[in-house]
């Protein structure tokens, strides 16, 4: 099988890498990350004009990409610049709408692609421990109105989202895959309250409380109680995106460390000439290539059967979690004390790599899931 990118994807990667390098340098990224908004609406609009968001969606949805390798190309470039704009939420919410939305609901895809609407995923809950089926938020249908009550945690850029994808249970026990429904909820709907806060990697998130949130019947996305499969595929795209983002971040960390080893001198010679450091760096290069192979496999398996797709995603997320953490730790150690300083980009890349491990399931979760999927075959 040929895993070389198409000419269109290579052009997309080149143009996006150039834009991030020239228009989104580390100083600009830090200014945006430290702002109250946590992202720059003007920069978001420029990414949209560049076609970056459109590459995440298929032609049927108004984009020009939408395949697994399109997602990987875009997010690897974003990872190189530690981009904090709301690409992940847009991808996951857009995928869910594409899979299960009515024609009226799919009309919002155009607004997502051109950056007019910021979307966020409100699925994780306190105590859910990454389990996709663990949903205790409840939705009750009374007359022609859905009423939602519950709490969602760590919703990326939730405070600035115009549209929320909310999971709620309409039947079954709290850990039952059946009985989960999905809702498209305008963020300004009465009954929604948020507590926003910065995260360690410079991004922002919010905890959301839903108290008697009333929605029309057209807010239901897909069939009642049939949301798990849609959610799994949409979150799967998010897992692939995070893995590719980590790959891009690891490349920058590797490059910065190689430059440091070539220029930092001890005993009159570059420390990169010391055999012990050469061996450590060679091991890291092999680990990064292993991570790249895992991402390629996950991207290639995106449209495969469920078991193959989900095992490939869990294998990639496990590999990225382990390797990303090791790359961050090793590169900081090879830099010495300067590697931990706020002024050096390396420490920020390290924090992002560690944070990625904890989004949509950490290494322990995905290792267990990979084994369980292999045993159950479903």
pLDDT, position 206:
96
Q: Are 125 and 162 in contact (CB under 8 A)?
A: no
Arithmetic mean of pLDDT, 41-63: 96
For the stretch 18-37, pLDDT in tens is 999 999 999 999 999 999 88
In the predicted model, what is the mean pLDDT of the chain? 93
Q: Is 334 helix (H, G, I), strand (E, B) or coil?
A: helix
> Which residue, among 145, 135, 157, 144, has the nearest Cα to 85 in the 3D structure?
157
Please provide residue 108's backbone torsions phi and psi, each rounded to the nearest 5 degrees: -75, -15
Arithmetic mean of pLDDT, 168-197: 96
In sequence order, what DSSP letters do the residues of 31-77 get, joined into one string? HHHHSSSSS-HHHHHHHHHHTTTGGGS-GGGTSS--SHHHHHHHHHH
Structure-token pair, residue 209: 């409380």
Report the CATH number of the 7-113 domain. Answer: 1.10.540.10
Q: Is 197 helix (H, G, I), strand (E, B) or coil?
A: strand
Q: Is 195 helix (H, G, I), strand (E, B) or coil?
A: strand
* Residue entry with tokens 């990118």: 5
Q: Are 357 and 242 in contact (CB under 8 A)?
A: no
Q: Are 246 and 201 in contact (CB under 8 A)?
A: no
pLDDT, position 332:
87
pLDDT, position 335:
82
Arithmetic mean of pLDDT, 47-55: 96
Helix H or strand E segment including 245: helix 227-263
Structure-token pair, residue 148: 């939602």
* Residue entry with tokens 């399109």: 70
pLDDT value at 48 more than 90: yes
As a whole number of angstroms, the distance between CA 256 and CA 128 comes to 37
Intrachain domains 7-113 and 119-224 with the same fold: no
> Which residue, among 161, 248, 228, 240, has the nearest Cα to 196 in the 3D structure?
161
Report, at the CATH architecture level, how domain 229-376 is classified.
Up-down Bundle (1.20)
Task: Kindly give, in sequence order, each residue whose CB lies less than 8 Å from that of residue 252, ignoring residues fewer than 6 positions away.
Answer: 79, 80, 345, 349
> How would residue 378 be classed by pLDDT, with cut points 50, 70 and 90?
low
Instruction: For the chain, give every domain's residue range.
Output: 7-113, 119-224, 229-376
Structure-token pair, residue 234: 């949409």
* Residue entry with tokens 């249908």: 141
Query: Domain 119-224 in CATH: superfamily?
Result: Butyryl-CoA Dehydrogenase, subunit A, domain 2 (2.40.110.10)
């Amino acid at each position: 099988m040929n895993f070389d990118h198409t000419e269109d994807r290579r052009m997309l990667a080149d143009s996006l890498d150039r834009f991030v390098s020239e228009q989104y340098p580390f100083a600009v990224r830090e200014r945006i990350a430290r702002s109250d908004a946590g992202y720059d609406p003007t920069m978001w609009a420029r990414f949209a004009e560049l076609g970056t968001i459109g590459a995440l969606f298929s032609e049927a949805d108004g984009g020009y990409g939408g395949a697994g390798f399109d997602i990987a190309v875009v997010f690897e470039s974003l990872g190189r610049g530690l981009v904090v704009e709301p690409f992940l939420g847009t991808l996951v919410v857009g995928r869910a709408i594409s899979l299960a939305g009515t024609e009226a609901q799919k009309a919002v895809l155009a607004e997502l692609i051109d950056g007019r609407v910021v979307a966020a995923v409100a699925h994780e809950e306190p105590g859910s421990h990454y389990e996709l089926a663990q949903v205790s938020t409840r939705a009750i249908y009374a007359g022609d109105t859905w009423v939602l009550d519950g709490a969602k945690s760590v919703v990326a850029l939730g405070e600035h989202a115009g549209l929320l994808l909310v999971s709620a249970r309409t039947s079954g026990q709290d850990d039952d895959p059946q009985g989960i429904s999905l809702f498209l909820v305008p963020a300004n709907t009465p009954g929604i309250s948020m507590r926003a806060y910065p995260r360690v990697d410079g991004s922002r998130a919010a905890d959301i409380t839903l108290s008697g949130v009333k929605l029309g019947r057209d807010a239901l996305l897909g069939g009642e109680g049939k949301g798990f499969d849609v959610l799994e595929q949409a979150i799967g795209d998010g897992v692939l995106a995070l893995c590719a983002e980590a790959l891009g971040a690891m490349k920058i960390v590797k490059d910065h460390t190689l430059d440091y080893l070539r220029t930092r001198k001890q005993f009159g010679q570059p420390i990169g000439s010391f055999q012990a450091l050469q061996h450590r760096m060679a091991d890291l290069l092999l680990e990064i290539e292993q991570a790249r192979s895992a991402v390629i496999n996950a991207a290639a398996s995106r449209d495969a059967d469920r078991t193959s797709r989900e095992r490939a995603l869990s294998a990639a997320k496990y590999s990225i979690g382990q390797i990303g953490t090791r790359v961050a730790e090793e590169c900081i150690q090879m830099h010495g004390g300067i590697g931990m300083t706020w002024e050096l980009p390396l420490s920020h890349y390290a924090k992002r790599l560690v944070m990625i491990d904890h989004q949509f399931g950490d290494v322990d979760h995905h290792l267990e899931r990979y084994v369980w999927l292999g045993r159950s075959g479903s």
